[in-house]
Amino acid sequence: MATEVSPDPPSLRTGRRERALAQMEAHDLDILVLGRQANIRYVTGAPQLWIAGTRPFGPMCVVVRATGEIYLNSTDDEGVPDEIGRDHLYGLAWNPMTLIEVLKHIDGAATARRVGTDAITPTFAALLPEAFPNADLVDGEPAMRTARRVKTAEEIAAMGPALRVAEKGLAAAVAELRPGVSEQTLAGAALEAMAAGGVSTPATQDVAWVTSREHPWQRGRGEVGPGDLVALAAGALADGYVAEVGRTWQAGDSVNGSTRELFARSDALFDKMLAACRPGASTTGLLAAYEEAGEPLPPMPVAHGLGLGFDPPVVSQTLSAAGDLDRLEAGMVLAISGYVWQEGIGAVVRRDTVHITDDGAEVLTSDPS
């Protein structure tokens, strides 16, 4: 069965584009040259080819502030919105000078004063001044980060498919959890369920791990044993948007008093983290929640932004110590991670996708159990 590639809905792409243009105005950018996949989809609404790993910067999309015109690197118009005409599409080229010639003929290129890029390589740092002879090349990524950090109502709705698929993947892994099963089998069950739900590109592949009873922050053995606490997490990338959910289950044995107490500690920590998710609050409140709950901070981030990929902020002890502080705003969507550990028992890990509203935190994920 053939599946047609369609652009994002008009209201979704229009709202995002307005935010991007507003940030171009705020950062005094006449032209924005984009190479990062998520940024390109954000302003164009055209689905991008997902590839594993990173790729070097190239001028794949150009936004002109004065006119709102968008130029897109594409070999055809499949999935390209109608407002981006065929005359605004340009093809792939191995020779970077071919791309520079295209940029030279974009309306406003010759007179632009400030041109931002979301990344750069030495080659294009040397060549872009030929396309924009009167412009200063500046960092355009802060403008895109600011635009993307707060989600529109349409974006929140667009995250729904990723949320539901991630939950189904996690539920499939839970259904396979039993003593003797391997971490790889659990991961395979989750990924298979997500693929059946239409998502063949998981946001994360570290799906299942047996928590260590001897050392915090570490894995146990790769095969699940009776009574082991097993952390399961699923991240789905659907329609460009990412959602994450994670829970911990005990394998085999019924939960005893000590283990039940550990789960209660996890709930208490998570309640404090959710209370810290309010507009205007510093992201350090998410770190302080661990101290208030009497739990040591994990070495990994305790929260990170979600959207078209991963958005700011990233909240960790290391960044906080370096002075990289941030403020939470209504409209942000975060993946919040709680981690508690007890020697001889293991760890309870919990992760939820959380929408920060004017009234506080709204948990978008549900418990798949």
Q: Find all residues with CB under 8 Å of 297, minimum gap 6, and list them.
A: 287, 290, 291, 317
CB burial of 205-227 (b: ≥16 within 10 Å; e: otherwise) equals: eebbbbbbbeebeeebeeebeeb
Cα pseudo-dihedral 198, 349, 300, 166, rounded to 10: 10
Q: Which residues pair with 211 in a beta bridge?
A: 219
Q: What is the distance, to the nearest Å, from the Cα of residue 38 to the centroid of all Cα atoms in its chain?
A: 9
Tens-digit pLDDT string for the chain (369 aa): 346 788 999 999 999 999 999 999 999 999 999 999 999 999 999 997 765 556 788 999 999 999 999 999 998 888 999 999 999 999 988 899 999 999 999 999 999 999 999 999 999 999 999 999 999 999 999 999 999 999 999 999 999 999 999 999 999 999 999 999 999 999 999 999 999 998 887 887 789 999 999 999 888 778 999 999 999 999 999 988 999 999 999 998 777 889 999 999 999 999 999 999 999 999 999 999 999 999 999 999 999 999 998 888 999 988 875 565 689 999 999 999 999 999 999 999 999 999 999 999 999 998 765
Judge residue 257's burial from the number of C-beta atoms within 10 Å of its C-beta, 0-12 exposed, 13-18 middle, 19 or more buried.
Answer: exposed
Say which DSSP state 130 is in. H
Put residue 177 in one of left, alpha, beta given phi > 0 → left and psi -120 to 50 → alpha.
Answer: beta
- Amino acid code (one letter) for 43: V
Angle of the 160-176 helix axis to the 183-196 helix axis, nearest 10: 140
